[in-house]
């Protein structure tokens, strides 16, 4: 990776949801090249940091492009991509890729697969944040370097990635190192500190070195800096039973209490974004969950750890990870309250939810184990806060056959699962405009993924020559198909007749602008295309 520098170009992001051109900061806002405020409302798709060295779920029956289509249709406008330095080594090999559902990935290196994801995400108006998650695929580390992966490797790999994606505005920045945290006990702390001044442990100083190294070759990137867990870098009395040297500790990567006093200083102005992590009881039962005032106590805790940075207009906040299994009511309340805290609309704090993957042991994912079905309990809480990418052109891969769905194991498989391809899904547009007082819209129906007994559909709604405030799409299934799940719209079905109306966030469309909703449905015998799909504007 460090020896060979390539330049990867892709479709520039030009969507209203994620702005135009490269992004920078202004106070606590992220803004685009025109100065318009942008809010990143994204998702983590992990795997490139593991032994597989590429995205998890490529072993599944749902092709990778279909998964990106679904992300965008659900409203996620940004993908945070964890990786390890192992995936960037010369000769690194991606494993557990289902070659039946993803034939276009056969023989590609981890970086080449990432290039394809970046390119397609850019076509859809999405943005990519690269997250150096681990020095090696073996696991998390308290410091940003190890005996086998020195700081020089960390810096060189970041500079190479920055040069590799130079000019590609889909890739907007670097999350420098995932979850620096405490190790050892005070006063003999050995973990990442913030503001302690020790060059070998002070994460704030290391973030400055890495951020400035990246900006020296790619001055347009945002630099995302996580917190630590304990500012001293030492563990609390949970471990040593000595209360005399304890401090305020939080989640790994989540404690930015010292950032106001000891800010990260970059050589290029308006590039710094602080990126804390925040989790629920399914990850660890923090004491604040037992407070008798819960959840009323949580805003003050969030203010203390990271929110003050946003509220004092110091810098933008992007919560890089937060997630839950929703196994308890405490967790459901936590997620609801955190989303409220982050705020609504374009002026809220940015975030990337953990995770897309169903195989995250602590949290599960937005997807269920088939890598195609959405966990609606989670999505329904997050959905009102999402700002979908707009302006991209979703494409269904004509070369990728659909395959019968199979449930992927919760642990990463060591070999590619076998799958039998079925007939390619029919890309079947059917559009019909309808007017109302000079307002009009069209609806285009297509099948993006089909397998035995089921399929995934997508309908693109496009406004006519004038702006509209809402839309209603109707059709009749010709062969008894039945929708089991629909996103980015409100479904009403009676027999074969289907009516879908807009959500609160995607009804207003400018002249010629478009949005899309998707659905999962069942079929048997024949999966015919509706003969007429009507769109009525308001």
pLDDT at 239: 58
CATH of the domain at 62: 3.20.20.80
Residue 18, in any domain of the structure: no
Same domain, 484 and 335: no
CB 43 within 8 A of CB 67: no
**Residue 274, H or E segment:** strand 272-274
pLDDT at 468: 92
Same domain, 451 and 330: no
Buried b (16+ CB within 10 A) or exposed e, 262-285: bbbebebeebbbbbbbbbbbbbee
Crossing angle between the packed helical segments 151-164 and 203-217, to the nearest 10 degrees: 30
Domain that holds residue 240: 24-385
Catalytic residue among 226, 278, 321, 458: 321
Asked if the bond preceding 355 is cis, omega within 30° of 0, the reply is: yes
Residue 434, in any domain of the structure: no
Same domain, 179 and 314: yes
Residue 403, in any domain of the structure: no
Same domain, 312 and 184: yes
Catalytic residue among 49, 179, 208, 458: 179
pLDDT at 394: 30
Same domain, 109 and 254: yes
Domain final position from 350, 385, 420: 385
pLDDT at 27: 97
Alpha helices (H) along 357-443: 376-382
Residue 67, in any domain of the structure: yes
Token pair, residue 515, equals 């949005």
pLDDT at 447: 87
| Residue 179 is a catalytic residue | yes
Question: Residue for token digits 């009511």?
Answer: 329
> Cα separation of 332 and 73, whole Å?
24
Same domain, 98 and 187: yes
Same domain, 222 and 357: yes
Domain final position from 385, 401, 431: 385
Beta-carbon contacts of residue 217 (< 8 Å; ≥ 6 apart): 159, 162, 163, 166
Residue 292, in any domain of the structure: yes
Same domain, 115 and 263: yes
pTM, rounded to two decimals: 0.73
Residue 324, in any domain of the structure: yes
Domain final position from 319, 350, 385: 385
pLDDT at 336: 98
Tell me how many domains the chain contains: 2
Asked if the bond preceding 295 is cis, omega within 30° of 0, the reply is: yes
Same domain, 78 and 156: yes
Same domain, 357 and 484: no
> Cα separation of 418 and 404, whole Å?
10
Report the SS3 class of residue 306. Answer: helix
User: What DSSP designation does 160 have?
Assistant: H
Query: In the Cβ-directed half-sphere of 293, how many Cα atoms lie within 13 Å?
Result: 6
Residue 187, in any domain of the structure: yes
pLDDT at 382: 97
| Residue 208 is a catalytic residue | no
Report the SS3 class of residue 119. Answer: helix
> Cα separation of 110 and 313, whole Å?
38
CB 52 within 8 A of CB 95: yes
Residue 126, in any domain of the structure: yes
Token pair, residue 402, equals 């659909």
Residue 39: how many other CB atoms lie within 10 Å = 27
Same domain, 351 and 491: no
245: left (phi over 0), alpha (psi -120 to 50) or beta: alpha
- Which residues in the chain come in under a pLDDT of 50? 1-15, 392-432, 434-435
Report the SS3 class of residue 261. Answer: coil
CATH of the domain at 486: 2.60.40.290
Q: 215-244, pLDDT tens digit by residue?
A: 999 999 999 999 999 999 998 766 566 777
Same domain, 228 and 338: yes
Cross-strand pairs, 24 = 31
């Amino acid at each position: 990776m460090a020896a060979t520098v390539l330049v990867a170009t892709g479709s520039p992001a030009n969507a209203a949801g994620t702005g135009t051109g490269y992004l920078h900061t202004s106070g606590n806002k992220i803004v685009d090249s025109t100065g318009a405020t942008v809010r990143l409302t994204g998702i983590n798709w992990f795997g490139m940091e593991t032994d597989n060295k590429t995205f998890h779920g490529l072993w599944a029956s749902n092709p990778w492009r279909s998964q990106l289509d679904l992300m965008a249709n659900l409203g996620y406008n940004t993908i945070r991509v964890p990786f390890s330095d192992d995936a960037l080594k010369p000769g690194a090999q991606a494993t557990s890729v289902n070659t039946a559902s993803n034939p276009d990935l056969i023989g590609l290196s981890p970086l080449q697969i990432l290039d394809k994801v970046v390119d397609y995400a850019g076509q859809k108006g999405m943005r990519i944040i690269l997250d150096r998650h681990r020095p090696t695929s073996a696991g998390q580390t308290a410091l940003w370097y190890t005996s086998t992966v020195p700081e020089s490797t960390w810096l060189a790999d970041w500079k190479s990635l920055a040069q590799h994606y130079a000019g590609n505005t889909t890739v907007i920045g670097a999350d420098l190192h995932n979850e620096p945290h405490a190790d050892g006990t005070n006063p003999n702390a050995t973990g990442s500190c913030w503001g302690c001044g020790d060059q070998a442990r002070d994460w704030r100083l290391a973030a400055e070195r890495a951020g400035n190294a990246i900006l020296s070759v790619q001055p347009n990137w945002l630099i995302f800096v996580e917190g630590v867990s304990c500012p001293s870098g030492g563990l609390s009395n949970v471990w040593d039973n000595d209360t005399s040297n304890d401090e305020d500790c939080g989640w790994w990567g989540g404690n930015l209490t010292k950032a106001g006093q000891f800010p990260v200083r970059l050589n290029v102005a308006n590039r710094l974004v602080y990126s804390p992590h925040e989790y629920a009881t399914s990850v660890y039962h923090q004491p604040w969950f037992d407070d008798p005032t819960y959840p009323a106590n949580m805003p003050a805790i969030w203010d203390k750890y990271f929110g003050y940075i946003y509220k004092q207009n110091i810098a933008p906040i992007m919560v890089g990870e937060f997630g839950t299994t929703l196994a308890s009511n405490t967790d459901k309340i936590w997620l609801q309250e955190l989303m409220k805290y982050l705020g609504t609309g374009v002026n809220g704090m940015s975030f990337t939810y953990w995770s897309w993957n169903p195989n995250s042991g602590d949290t599960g994912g937005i997807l269920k184990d088939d890598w195609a079905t959405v966990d609606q309990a989670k999505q329904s809480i997050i959905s009102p806060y999402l700002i979908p990418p707009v302006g991209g052109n979703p494409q269904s891969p004509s070369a990728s056959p659909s395959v019968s769905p199979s449930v992927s194991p919760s642990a990463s498989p060591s070999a590619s699962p076998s799958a039998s391809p079925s007939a390619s899904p029919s890309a079947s547009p059917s559009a019909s405009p309808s007017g109302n007082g000079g307002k009009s819209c069209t609806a285009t129906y297509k099948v993006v993924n089909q397998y035995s007994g089921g399929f995934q559909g997508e309908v693109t709604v496009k406004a006519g020559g004038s702006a509209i405030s809402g839309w209603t799409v109707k059709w009749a299934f010709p062969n008894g198909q039945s929708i089991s799940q629909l996103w980015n719209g409100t479904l009403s079905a009676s027999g074969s007749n289907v009516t879908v109306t807009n959500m609160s966030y995607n009804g207003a469309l400018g002249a010629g602008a478009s949005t899309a909703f998707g659905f999962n449905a069942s079929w048997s015998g024949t999966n015919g295309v509706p003969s007429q799909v009507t769109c009525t504007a308001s």
